[in-house]
């Protein structure tokens, strides 16, 4: 909005009152109306400046928020870049620690105690308490 001049507001109020049949003549009430128009013009102008500052600050924060949302929701690049697409010696920091190579177990080595699935599979589950077992026909 444009800056409002103090005298401009008084002139518009005076013209409005003239169209309604009221003419402002010099006197104490005219001075009060004139001073009121000055205060109102100052208040409007200061409000406009405050709104402009708030708008620019809000726009700045909104841009920061959009940037953060964009960074958090942007699609990630491929975990393993194709061969020849960049340096292959340095894995990316986002991939996590490198995995140990998987070695098949040696068939001559006996399994560890407590880990055998065959021994655990042959055990039957204990019946639940509180339920009576019906005889099998």
Residue 8 CB partners (closer than 8 Å, separation 6+): 41
- Delimit the domains of the chain by residue range: 6-73
pTM: 0.46
Closest Cα partner for 9 from 39, 50, 51, 48?
39
Q: b/e string for 74-94 if b means 16 or more Cβ within 10 A?
A: eeeeeeeeeeeeeeeeeeeee
Reported as a single tens digit per residue, the pLDDT across 40-72 is 999 999 999 999 999 999 999 999 999 999 998
Contact of 9 with 36, CB cutoff 8 Å: no
**28-73 helix and 6-19 helix, angle to the nearest 10 degrees:** 120
Residues of the chain with confidence (pLDDT) below 70? 79-101, 103-133, 137
Say what the pLDDT of residue 119 is: 52
Say what the pLDDT of residue 55 is: 95
Say what the pLDDT of residue 81 is: 61
């Amino acid at each position: 909005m444009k800056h409002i001049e103090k005298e401009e507001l008084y002139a518009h109020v005076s013209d409005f009152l003239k169209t309604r049949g009221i003419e402002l003549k010099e006197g104490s009430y005219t001075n009060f109306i004139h001073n009121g128009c000055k205060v109102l013009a100052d208040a409007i102008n200061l409000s406009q400046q405050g709104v402009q500052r708030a708008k620019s600050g809000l726009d700045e924060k909104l841009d920061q928020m959009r940037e953060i949302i964009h960074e958090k929701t942007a699609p990630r690049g491929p975990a393993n870049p194709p061969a020849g697409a960049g340096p292959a010696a340095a894995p990316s920091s986002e991939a996590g620690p490198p995995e140990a190579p998987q070695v098949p177990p040696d068939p001559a080595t006996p399994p560890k105690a407590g880990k055998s699935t065959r021994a655990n599979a042959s055990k039957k589950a204990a019946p639940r308490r509180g339920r009576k077992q019906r005889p099998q026909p």
